[in-house]
Structure 1
């Protein structure tokens, strides 16, 4: 292969990428996002973090993990707002991506094509075990996908499902341990077999 200086220069300039951190509730997605963003800050990279304004479970201006680690973030109404607010940065973190609109995959692509490292965290499946929101599309176009597992509260095996404890069929129900518990495949499906 012949070395092409122009191709090398453009790859260096366009060093953007899309990384996805996904899994069930209580699997450590936000914790991992915070860890990656803090490492970028240690490397003296300019970082911006965004979360959906609709997610009001924790602080409005910070991502907070279940282990109480936090990092400042900006709540936004929709994915296109990230393009307006995320200029002149090296790394963009996006939490709770499943709650964003269908524009999020395009926004991630635009940012990555501009040379920005985009790290997206979110649930890959809803409480019925179906692909959730824009996550499947983002996962398909990402350079890397990290799937995390919680611990099944019934048997201790790796849990990939977010089992809903309350009788509510709406797709989006903001809640924590009072509303959801992590379950493995067997324990999740045995409930439906009864």
Structure 2
């Protein structure tokens, strides 16, 4: 009889854990903040995170370890506002690095510069669907060629909300939806700030991109001449 009772308690404990897991599953949410550079994505993310903290929720902020522009262990906006974070090469390793017990107590996870994480979709599914947490993703929706950048757009089908931000075109002051690279570098991942990129409207993206593309041909024969040509042309349109 004692053995039977012990067995029942063991099974009941397992059932309790299973019910707890079942209660968490599907109770999370995914929110995406996207747009071109200088559109306030990090600022919006930090505002959301601070709001969650003010409501008593436990939060953690993550960013890609590739982004070392302002601080290694902080998310920093272009106007200098910062928030402590975990800088990681990937997302799926975060629970173990953070500590499984501590991770289990988290309510909200913020992810900045999300375009640099190849496992973004997988992580968001785990956090929201399996672990019942809220994840807020902030990142570029397109690269300097207006192509999908990383996995940010992949997360949209599983998102509860999507916010598309705009910047201000540096040429005409109208709404800017695109990011223009000022030099002829063709790498998709080229981390930089206002020295490398500028937000532009459709008209001035097309105008300046044609100039930069033409200058790229000069780059093969004379790099310094091509770079100065691009800078001078963009300056003229400004």
Fold conserved between structures, TM > 0.5: yes
How far is 1:143 from its partner?
A: 0.9
Match of 1:161?
178
CA contact (8 A) 2:169 2:175 kept: yes
Match status 1:91 vs 2:108: yes
Structure with the higher helix share, 1 or 2: 2
Tell me, in whole angstroms, the C-alpha distance in 1 between the residues paired with 2:66 and 2:136. 20
Q: TM-score, normalised by structure 2?
A: 0.74
How many equivalent pairs are there? 184
CA contact (8 A) 1:83 1:107 kept: no
Which segment is superposed worse, 157-166 or 10-19? 10-19
Matches within 5 A, 1:44-193: 44-84=56-96, 85=98, 86-101=103-118, 103-113=119-129, 114-193=131-210
How far is 1:77 from its partner?
A: 1.4
Tell me, in whole angstroms, the C-alpha distance in 2 between the residues paired with 1:38 and 1:68. 16
CA contact (8 A) 2:180 2:209 kept: no
CA contact (8 A) 1:99 1:133 kept: yes
Secondary structure of the 1:80 match is coil
Q: TM-score, normalised by structure 1?
A: 0.90
Tell me, in whole angstroms, the C-alpha distance in 2 between the residues paired with 1:193 and 1:177. 20
How far is 1:139 from its partner?
A: 1.9
Tell me, in whole angstroms, the C-alpha distance in 2 between the residues paired with 1:50 and 1:189. 34
How far is 1:191 from its partner?
A: 2.4
* 1:52-101 deviation digits (Å, cap 9, x = unpaired): 11111111111111121111101011121234334420000000000111
Among 10, 35, 41, the residue aligned to 1:29 = 41
Distance 1:177 1:166, change over 3 A: same
Secondary structure of the 2:93 match is helix
CA contact (8 A) 2:168 2:175 kept: yes
Structure with bigger gyration radius? 2
Q: Which runs of 4+ in 1 moved over 3 A?
A: 10-14
Tell me, in whole angstroms, the C-alpha distance in 2 between the residues paired with 1:56 and 1:77. 12
Secondary structure of the 2:50 match is helix
CA contact (8 A) 1:16 1:116 kept: yes
Give the gaps of 5 or more residues in structure 2: 1-21, 212-238
Secondary structure of the 1:131 match is coil
Match of 1:5?
none
